[in-house]
Amino acid sequence: MHFDRPMHPRFLLLPVVILALGACGDRGPIPESYDPPGSTITTGRPISDQPRRTIGFRETGVWVSNEYAGARLSDFVHVEDSLYRAVIRPENAPINNSAWYGFAIWADAPDTIAVELTYEDGTHRYVPKLSRDRATWQPIVDEDYAPDTTAGTATLRLAVGPDTTWVSAQEPWISGRFDAWTAGLPGVVRTDIGESLRGRPIRMVSFGRESSPEGLVMVISRQHPPEVTGTLAMKAFVETLLGDGPQEDAFRSRFRVLVVPLVNPDGVDGGHWRHSAGGIDLNRDWLDFNQPEARHVRDAMVSEAERTGAPVVFAIDFHSTQEDVFYTHSRDLVPNRPGLLDAWLDSIRVAVPGYELVEEASGLGSPVSKNWFFEALGATSVTYEVGDEQDRDLIDRVASSAARALMAVLERNGGA
Ligand SMILES: [Zn+2]
């Protein structure tokens, strides 16, 4: 890359910034209980929709837009010379710090600019992913990326020109992409189980033994809009259960799998940080069920359990946080398949040598899906959190190993 003008002095700070990041890199995952006050009151709170618009600067010929699903850009200003500032606000506050952003940027003529990402009610979290075609995405290279952990901002150096560059907190997985993915899955039934608050369909994918299965496996993901790495793990997990082979065939001939891959389509397409269109953290609504999204998933799952008369042997909810962690239940809580959890975790550890599987077990105190699956259905249940910047190939390996481990363990004690 060739630069024809000096860059903004912010980039001179880069080595110092990297040292500062390294110093806090050992911090463990933020526990599930990390919530702003009032998160478990789920009756609904107003949100502000971002203005959808394209902003241009006559003096420099630089353009930016958030006019597409999954975008988030609240404002964009030209500070000076080649420096611009993006302002990112959440849908409402207080809110867990999952500061999602996404915008398209281009210029009338090739140029190199600096864009400072700034946030209200939050701080910079996600390493930017860039794309020229919205199909393939790459993390920004280190030389072009200067996070400022003190200010909670980050400055990006971008080569812009007439061809659009998309900048996003994670490679986007919006509702249309989920639909394309589920449409390509072999041998599944797709059902609309209800509508989100804004009228988007909530879709369930079912496969395996239709009548009198020995057990049900329930899979959900994307209650929280930015948690794309959780979706990548869910995708690998489900595709593995749908794979070819004697183990997969045997599993599907005995068990039935229900998958709701996108629980919060309004939040995902709206570019939200955390909440639904009702302004609520949906994974705090699994006790009161005030929000339609959680209600529809509950009703569809319960209805299939009643129709088949089969026990729910395993439930998994995919999320993302700073590092991989499996949230499980305390061992003094006994599900309908005792021993399945430890056998499953041990099997994953054996299958992925060198991967440090972190487990945090807890009681049933918080109104999250994992606890509902356990309390209401007796299921061994897990919240599988995937690191924001976890290597995408490793996500595939761990999640597909987790699916194979589940099939192996259920083969042994599933019908017990
Ligand atoms: Zn989450």
The arithmetic mean of pLDDT across residues 327-334, rounded, is 97
pLDDT of residue 302: 98
Q: pLDDT tens, 344-383? A: 999 999 999 999 999 999 999 899 999 999 999 999 999 9
The arithmetic mean of pLDDT across residues 22-39, rounded, is 54
How far apart (Å, rounded) are the C-alpha atoms in residues 217 and 340?
13
168 Cα: distance to centroid of ligand 1 (angstroms):
18
* pLDDT category of residue 412 using cuts at 50, 70 and 90: confident
49 Cα: distance to centroid of ligand 1 (angstroms):
21
The arithmetic mean of pLDDT across residues 386-413, rounded, is 96
Residues forming beta bridges with residue 112, ordered by sequence position: 159
Across 174-251, where does the E strand assignment appear?
A: 189-195, 201-208, 215-221
227 Cα: distance to centroid of ligand 1 (angstroms):
6
pLDDT of residue 414: 55
71 Cα: distance to centroid of ligand 1 (angstroms):
19
pLDDT of residue 30: 42
The arithmetic mean of pLDDT across residues 221-238, rounded, is 98
Around ion ligand 1, which residues have CB less than 5 A away? 224, 227, 319
What percent of the chain clears pLDDT 90, i.e. is strictly above it? Answer: 89
Average pLDDT value over all residues in the chain: 92
* Ordered domains of the chain (ranges, CATH): 26-168 (2.60.40.3120), 175-413 (3.40.630.10)
Strands 312-321 and 215-221 come out as parallel
282 Cα: distance to centroid of ligand 1 (angstroms):
9
336 Cα: distance to centroid of ligand 1 (angstroms):
26
225 Cα: distance to centroid of ligand 1 (angstroms):
8
Q: pLDDT tens, 49-81? A: 999 999 999 999 999 999 999 999 999 999 999
Q: pLDDT tens, 102-139? A: 999 999 999 999 999 999 999 999 999 999 999 999 99
How far apart (Å, rounded) are the C-alpha atoms in residues 306 and 334?
22
32 Cα: distance to centroid of ligand 1 (angstroms):
8
319 Cα: distance to centroid of ligand 1 (angstroms):
4
97 Cα: distance to centroid of ligand 1 (angstroms):
11
pLDDT of residue 21: 33
Question: Tokens 């794979």 — which residue?
Answer: 243
Residue-by-residue DSSP string for 147-176: EETTTTEEEEEEEE-SS-EEEESS----HH
234 Cα: distance to centroid of ligand 1 (angstroms):
13
321 Cα: distance to centroid of ligand 1 (angstroms):
7
Please say if the pLDDT value at position 309 is more than 60. yes
Please say if the pLDDT value at position 328 is more than 50. yes
